[in-house]
Chain A
């Protein structure tokens, strides 16, 4: 089972998928520390 507590989380969101702020909120709620996040856009 994945445990994000005290993990350093790299978030790679995508505009046409799930953006980084959304994933960041989940990671932080699970106890992870987000050290990098980006929302990619290929348009």
Chain B
């Protein structure tokens, strides 16, 4: 996540109704999912951007997770996401996000 995006999200959270906010990711790998999720839950792990040391604590989901799939009308999900769920390594992405949530809870 680049520094400009970190700043934009920080401003949104500061100005908005944080309790109603949810993040949906479309990251392609377990590694990129972990990095973005940790940045949004407990702050920028690289300590380079505006979110360094800023634990936003936002709920983060990946669009390939069953929780998201079940929340979206089936026809829309199949049309929009459809084959991408087969191309990407969904189990690895879901597992990485579960680990990131566990790390965030421990801090």
> Residues of A with Cβ closer than 8 Å to B?
1-4, 6-14, 16-20, 22-23, 25-27, 29-30, 32, 35-36, 38-40
Interface residues of B in 36-85 (CB under 8 A from A): 36, 58, 61, 63-64, 67-68, 70-73, 76-77, 80-81, 84
Which chain B residues lie closer than 8 Å to A3 at the CB level?
71
Counting CB contacts under 8 A, is B92 at the interface?
no
Residue among A11, A12, A14, A29 with most chain B CB within 10 A: A12
Question: Considering the chains assembled together, what is the distance between the CA atoms of A39 and B25 in angstroms?
Answer: 10
Which chain B residues lie closer than 8 Å to A22 at the CB level?
26, 63, 80-81, 84
Known A2-B61, A26-B81; contact A14-B22, beta-carbon cutoff 8 A:
no
Which chain A residues lie closer than 8 Å to B23 at the CB level?
9-12
> Residues of B with Cβ closer than 8 Å to A?
1-2, 5, 8-9, 12, 16-17, 20-29, 32, 36, 58, 61, 63-64, 67-68, 70-73, 76-77, 80-81, 84, 88
Which chain B residues lie closer than 8 Å to A36 at the CB level?
8-9, 12
Which chain A residues lie closer than 8 Å to B20 at the CB level?
6-8
Question: Considering the chains assembled together, what is the distance between the CA atoms of A34 and B80 in angstroms?
Answer: 16
Question: Considering the chains assembled together, what is the distance between the CA atoms of A6 and B21 in angstroms?
Answer: 9
Question: Considering the chains assembled together, what is the distance between the CA atoms of A3 and B20 in angstroms?
Answer: 11
Residue in chain B with minimal CB distance to A16: B28
